[in-house]
Amino acid sequence: MDAIDRELVTLLLADGRATYQELGRAVRLSANTVADRVRRLRSSGVIRGFHADVDLGALGRGLTLLSDVRLREGIDRGEFERQLVEVAHVTSAMRLTGEYDYQLRIVCADPLEFESVIDRLKRDHGVRELHSRLLLHELPLGPHRLLAAALPTAG
């Protein structure tokens, strides 16, 4: 991946709907050359897809919690992970080292809905303990910063 590829990925992170023509103008290449580079980035797995950035608060789900989860003894982790698909309020899950087994991002409309999600996770999915924190706001940090750091410095 060269500097132009890093710049293309950075531009696509900012606007995944940018046209090849727009991208080409930004990196001073033809639209066809940019299309070839983007196809190569996709086929190599650098770019996995293009996604919409949805404001869940605008959809009535303004309460986001980060919950550290400890599973009950004997619960199969693979089965737990497969069953999480059934819990729509869980928008991401990360397996961890340390004191807890997972960290879940749970999105709800209000505390009552969050309570029902907790009850369901404990009752149906083998969760023994949850330690949750309310997400107040998220900083807009992202992978584009790594791409910029990888660029060679002038001088």
Question: Do residues 12 and 41 both lie within one domain?
Answer: yes
What is the pLDDT averaged over residues 60-67?
96
Question: Do residues 84 and 46 both lie within one domain?
Answer: no
Tell me how many degrees the CA angle 57-52-21 measures, rounded to the nearest 5.
Answer: 145
How many domains are there within the chain?
2
Question: Do residues 14 and 46 both lie within one domain?
Answer: yes
Q: In the predicted model, is pLDDT for residue 15 greater than 80?
A: yes
Give me the CATH number covering residue 68. 3.30.70.920
pLDDT band at 1 (very low <50, low <70, confident <90, very high): confident
Question: Do residues 73 and 18 both lie within one domain?
Answer: no
pLDDT in tens, 64-79: 999 999 999 999 999 9
Flag whether 145 is in a domain: no
Flag whether 98 is in a domain: yes
Q: In the predicted model, is pLDDT for residue 155 greater than 60?
A: no
Flag whether 35 is in a domain: yes
Q: In the predicted model, is pLDDT for residue 48 greater than 80?
A: yes
Q: pTM for this one?
A: 0.80
Give me the CATH number covering residue 10. 1.10.10.10
Flag whether 146 is in a domain: no
- Domain interval for residue 75: 56-134
Question: Do residues 70 and 40 both lie within one domain?
Answer: no
